[in-house]
Amino acid sequence: MTSTCTICERIKLIQAHQNPYFVYELTTGYVVLADSQYFEGYTLFLAKHHVTELHHLPAHEKLRYLEEMSIVQEACAQAFHADKMNIELLGNGDAHVHWHLFPRHNGDTPNPGPVWWTPLETIYGDDVSLDIPRLSRLKRTLSVAIEATLNAREAELQALEALTRPASHRIDSN
Ligand SMILES: [Zn+2]
């Protein structure tokens, strides 16, 4: 952690229950809504540990972080009925590793392309925390979708484990 890192400061607010955008805690990171919701459902997945590059995470944590990011972006797609997901890890402004997850909808930019073709003053022109009913609705929608996606993933892993378990260990009712 660095004392000047905006994302570390945001994480401190989450831990103090004072971050209005906080949605969900996973093993390797925190899910928050972006402050601005011009692209409705714009979500961030913040790494718990302050690293500036993905490959600076220990290998096991990196793999888990990637898997959890995949779960969050899948939930985001379902929650906000995305036609397409955009997933980006940039960090040129705030170097602390975090994913930008954008649920995209056909026609949401004048020409098909990245969100960054939209003027920044438009993308960052609102603060959803000023609209508490909307913020609450978006957070609840995403949180429910994350729970459902985690449950589905758990069921998939259990089915896979049952398939790969040695036959002698299977309970066969026949
Ligand atoms: Zn940081």
pLDDT tens digits along 42-53: 999 999 999 999
Residue-wise pLDDT tens digits, 106-129 = 999 988 999 999 999 999 999 999
Q: What is the SS3 assignment for 144?
A: helix
Task: Please give the domain boundaries of the chain with CATH numbers for all domains.
Answer: 6-107+121-166 (3.30.428.10)
Distance (Å) of CA 157 to CA 2, 85, 94, 146, 148: 37, 24, 35, 16, 14
Which residue has better confidence, 92 or 171?
A: 92
First to last CA, the chain: 57
Task: Specify the pLDDT at position 132.
Answer: 96
Task: Tell me how far the alpha carbon of residue 69 lies from the centroid of ligand 1, in angstroms.
Answer: 18
Residue-wise pLDDT tens digits, 131-165 = 999 999 999 999 999 999 999 999 999 999 998 88
Task: Specify the pLDDT at position 46.
Answer: 98
Task: Tell me how far the alpha carbon of residue 99 lies from the centroid of ligand 1, in angstroms.
Answer: 13
Whole-model pTM: value is 0.90
Task: Tell me how far the alpha carbon of residue 8 lies from the centroid of ligand 1, in angstroms.
Answer: 4
Task: Tell me how far the alpha carbon of residue 104 lies from the centroid of ligand 1, in angstroms.
Answer: 28
Task: Specify the pLDDT at position 110.
Answer: 86
Count of Cβ atoms closer than 10 Å to residue 57 Cβ:
19
Task: Tell me how far the alpha carbon of residue 9 lies from the centroid of ligand 1, in angstroms.
Answer: 7
Task: Tell me how far the alpha carbon of residue 143 lies from the centroid of ligand 1, in angstroms.
Answer: 24
Task: Tell me how far the alpha carbon of residue 96 lies from the centroid of ligand 1, in angstroms.
Answer: 5
